[in-house]
Chains A and B, each alone.
Chain A
Amino acid sequence: MSKNLTPRYIIIGLVLAWALLTLWPSVKYQMLSPDDKEEMRELGTLESLENDIIKQGLDLKGGIYIVLEVDLPTLISTLAINKDTKFERTISEVRNSLKENTQQNFFTVFANSVSGNSLRLPRYYDVDYGAKPDDILASLKEQADDAINRVLEILQNRVDQFGVSEPTIQKQGNRRIIVELAGIQDSDRARALLQSTAQLEFCLVKSPEVTNDILSQIDNLVKGNEQLESLVASINEDYEDDESELSVSDDKTVSISELFGEDTEASKDSSDTSVVVDQNIFQERPFSSLLRALGNNIAVPEKNLYTVKKIINKQEVQDKLSLGNGQFLFAPDAEKFSTNEGIDEKLVYMYYLEKDADLTGGVIEEANATIGGQGSSAVGQPIVLLDMNSEGARTWSRITGANIGRQIAIVLDKKVHMAPSIRTKISDGGTMIEGFAGMDEAKDIAIVLRAGALPAPVDIIEERIVGPSLGADSVKRGTNSVLLGLGLIIIFMFVYYKLSGSIANFALIWNILLVLSVLASLGATLTLPGIAALILTVGMSIDANVIIFERIREELRKGKSVRAAIDGGYNRALTTIVDANVTTLVAALVLYQFGTGPIRGFATVLFWGIVISMFTAIFVTRTIFNSFTDRKGLKKLSI
């Protein structure tokens, strides 16, 4: 060991200065009051400060972590033209197979299914004449890759407008997108914002005669089908149970049959409280009996919604619907209605619509949320105003002109927001959507309409929400544990190794400061497992010093001089320390490689904790020891 320690001191000094400098913004940020932060936000200086501080993970700050996956079967099916039942069957086969074994690759399954069903791909995709199925598959794959990038872009756009600080949106692999929204807890809103395909459609509502006709057809289907009949009957049983308790008789509400001009016997007085089956017509019209009439429209009591949807989704019912080129869609939310007896009931509007949209959201140029003004149908209600491009405005004008008096449904993501009657021809393309639960929802929908439609629907396959109180609690407990652990170790080291222990303690504190400053400068995120790793580092990093001190003690017991004992101890401990720590480093690297989010946070802290502890133990403490021995020519070492 050279006598001149100055270069070592310079290095140590520089590192210390760097550590304090990088940690300063975090300290400053901690000391800011919420008012100060607001002021800085207005000045625009907060953001640059936030960039320099140690970032907290969602598990500490609270927020939402969502993993989205592009729904490939739907995408591939949307890209197809001339779809027939054979094609639809193949897609649903692929869907089922993927559900059973989730680890399969979509395109492999699709290719197998295509050849299994001897599906001729060129029939369904718009390709050059003579294209091979393999070429088509390759092109579909390319379009799928392209779709995810577009989804990413659109989601980025939406989230930016949503106004969250530091959102992260990143692609994971070829099919997934990870979205992290800090400080947001309303997952309904976040989901709606991310998952909405923003597919806006304008579909004409079928006439009452046609609607009534399809309802009777479904009634007949249900009657002829034991399984469906028992489904409805189970609701009817509930009804009878209630009847015995409450001695109610028939359903009071106007039945769907009445609405459409059929005579029914269901008009006696009664007070139905819970279940809404029109008993008199149940035998005759089992499906219609689940529904209610509301003005000119049909509604489903919320209690019956599940059964109604189940019946509608039956294959035989779907076949009937596609024959009539129609579809049943529902309003987004239930509304409360009071019956004559003053009983509240929650009903969801149901519409029978043309299957094909007359106009889609691609023509939207501008969408803004606002409050409906005087004279509109939604005074004081949140609404979204739409502006269409010239082509859209032309089509819209033609449709509205030709269908005056009919209802047209404004459908967003397969939910009917409103179905106003067309009163006049709209020629400027300006349109208004109402029917939102609140201003937030209207704003979010305006955002998704502006940002554009997703090329394919996305599924949420993982979602983690941490509430702010749990996060704050974790921070408090984590910090306390670090401080307490640190305190105990410091006391232990001092008692056990005396002055040398104090040197190790000094290195230990240094160690923690350095780990934190590395985190700050790497822009790494501190997570709860990261705090655990920090605590672990406190316990484990002292190991290097323990190895050295025990060696020095051994050397001293052999009767060596202080100086020789220190040199010998350090030299012999060196290989041990390196060998022992490399293995933990390997574990940390593997964790980093395989983990996500919080686990990565753990791996990062563990890795740097070990690297830095080797530096402090081997370099920093040795320099201090040497400076002691050099200056005084120590005869005795406090160890």
Chain B
Amino acid sequence: MRIIKDTNINFMSQYKLGALLSGTVISLGIVSLILAGGPLLSIDFKGGTLFAVHFEEPVNINEFRSTMSNVNIEGETFDFSKAEIKLFGSPKDISVRIPYMDEEPDNFAQKVISHLRDSFSGKVSELDSDFILSIEKVGPKIGAELSNKAVLAIVSALALILFYISIRFEFNFALGAIAALAHDVFVTLGIFSIMGYEISLPIIAAFLTIVGYSLNDTIVIFDRIRENIKSMKRLTYSEVIDKSINDSLSRTIITSITTFIVVFILWLFGGEVINLFAFAMMVGVIVGTYSSIFIACPLVLRLHSKSQ
């Protein structure tokens, strides 16, 4: 069986189409990012409290919210009704995110939870282990550190990759690859912003994996270019690139399909905790495949004709 027969698509002449498409998506993302005042960061980076609880029967979110408006902790009354309250994968599970407060009472998440337990006494399991799904609390100090680390991680990964490709190929190829990567991360970041999804620590891991995956794809094509340049001296640079993309197109499509299948399954069945990670990967697989052909290769071509 063959999905992709011998193709001879003139990709390099279509670079304008690619530029237009990417430009549009990235611009939309940037507009959304500006409107939202930057990427939506999770408590991992901003500090705060996030907890999820499980009820024995579905709970009305509005009722839940009004319960949260009057929480008494050691004589001090808190209004958490403005906290981010949403369903956590099922109508019986609810997650609450409370931004970091100066001078939080000790153990206050647990106290809010016991307030909920009292308020919904009929719908809550006796056992805490069945009621509390998770509690996460990150201090602002850790949050700031993690942000620095995440940025440092992405930057150093890019630097190392630039270095490796420069050695194995040429510097132009390295620039092309890095541009494709930056493109992928920006598109994913923009889509996350448009969808209103949060950037958390696992999402940073997903970004780095996208970086790895997208490069994998780019390098397979670069490798073909390197090989074809030697054997096809009569073709122009642009024709060699087109030929190389076509040669490896079958592999590109099949690997993208297999990888997409697994992340799609993860997205569908992996559960609430891993859901956004899988979503980022899904976007990444598509964008990474696209960018190898429509961003990395045209840029290599440009840089090459400039240096001639």
- Chain A residues at the B interface, C-beta cutoff of 8 Å: 59, 62, 67, 69, 102-103, 185-188, 191, 301-308, 459-470, 473-474, 477-478, 480-481, 484-485, 488-489, 492-493, 495-498, 528-529, 531-533, 535-536, 538-540, 542-543, 546-547, 550, 553-554, 572, 575-576, 579-588, 590-591, 593-595, 598-599, 602-603, 606
Contacts and interface: CB of A to CB of B under 8 A. Distances in A.
B59 interface: no
A187 B254 contact: no
B266 interface: yes
A359 B271 CA distance: 55
Contact of B144 (A103, A191, A540): A103
Contacts of B157: 586-587, 590-591
B223 A575 contact: yes
B142 A67 contact: yes
Interface string B289-300: 000000000000
Nearest to A476: B271
A603 B139 CA distance: 25
Interface stretch (B9-17, B63-71, B146-154): B146-154
Contacts of A69: 141
A481 B265 contact: yes
A102 B140 contact: yes
A489 B209 contact: no
B74 A302 contact: yes
Interface stretch (B24-32, B160-168, B234-242): B160-168
B129 A185 contact: yes
Given A582-B164, A586-B164, A529 B271 contact: no
A100 to B, nearest CB: 10
Nearest to B6: A557
B128 interface: yes
Nearest to B142: A462
**8 A-B pairs closest in CB distance:** A584-B212, A587-B212, A306-B75, A539-B259, A539-B262, A305-B75, A461-B139, A102-B141
Nearest to A501: B1
Contacts of A492: 257-258, 261
A584 B261 contact: no
B302 interface: no
Given A478-B270, A546-B255, A550-B250, 17 more contacts: A102-B140, A102-B141, A103-B148, A187-B110, A307-B75, A459-B139, A464-B134, A474-B273, A528-B273, A529-B277, A532-B278, A538-B262, A539-B259, A539-B260, A546-B258, A550-B251, A591-B205
Contacts of B126: none
Contact of A546 (B2, B72, B164, B251): B251
Interface string B203-224: 0110011011101110110111
Contacts of B266: 481, 485, 532, 535
B130 to A, nearest CB: 6
Nearest to A64: B135
Contacts of A185: 128-129, 132
B292 to A, nearest CB: 11
Residue among A493, A531, A536, A553 with the highest chain B CB neighbour number at 10 A: A536
Given A461-B141, A599-B201, A187 B107 contact: yes
Contacts, number: 243
B25 to A, nearest CB: 23
Nearest to A99: B102
A620 to B, nearest CB: 19
A594 B212 contact: no
B123 interface: no
A576 B223 contact: yes
A103 B277 contact: no
A584 B220 CA distance: 13
Contacts of A306: 74-76
Nearest to A192: B107
A265 to B, nearest CB: 27
B208 A542 contact: no
**B contact patch SS:** helix
Nearest to A187: B110
Contacts of B75: 301-308
B216 A536 contact: no
A381 B108 CA distance: 28
Nearest to A583: B215
Contacts of B208: 587, 590-591
Interface string B142-184: 1011001110110011001100110010000000000000000
B270 A590 contact: no
A590 B153 CA distance: 6
Contacts of A531: 274
Contacts of A496: 1, 3, 254
A565 to B, nearest CB: 15
A303 B271 CA distance: 41
B52 interface: yes
A251 B214 CA distance: 73
B133 A587 contact: no
Given A187-B107, A532-B270, A467 B129 contact: yes
Contacts of A460: 137, 139
B261 A583 contact: no
Contacts of A572: 227
B138 interface: yes
A602 B205 contact: yes
B220 A576 contact: yes
A469 B130 contact: yes
B164 A583 contact: yes
B293 to A, nearest CB: 15
Contact of A465 (B132, B212, B216): B132
B99 interface: no
B202 interface: yes
Given A185-B129, A188-B107, A462 B273 contact: no
A123 to B, nearest CB: 31
Nearest to A235: B75
Contacts of A582: 164
Interface in B1-50: 1-3
Nearest to A548: B251
B212 A480 contact: no
B220 A580 contact: yes
Nearest to A463: B137
Nearest to A303: B75
B189 interface: no
A532 B277 contact: yes
Contacts of B118: none
17 contacts: A459-B139, A473-B271, A485-B266, A529-B202, A532-B274, A539-B263, A543-B259, A546-B254, A581-B216, A582-B164, A583-B165, A584-B212, A585-B212, A587-B215, A590-B156, A599-B204, A602-B202
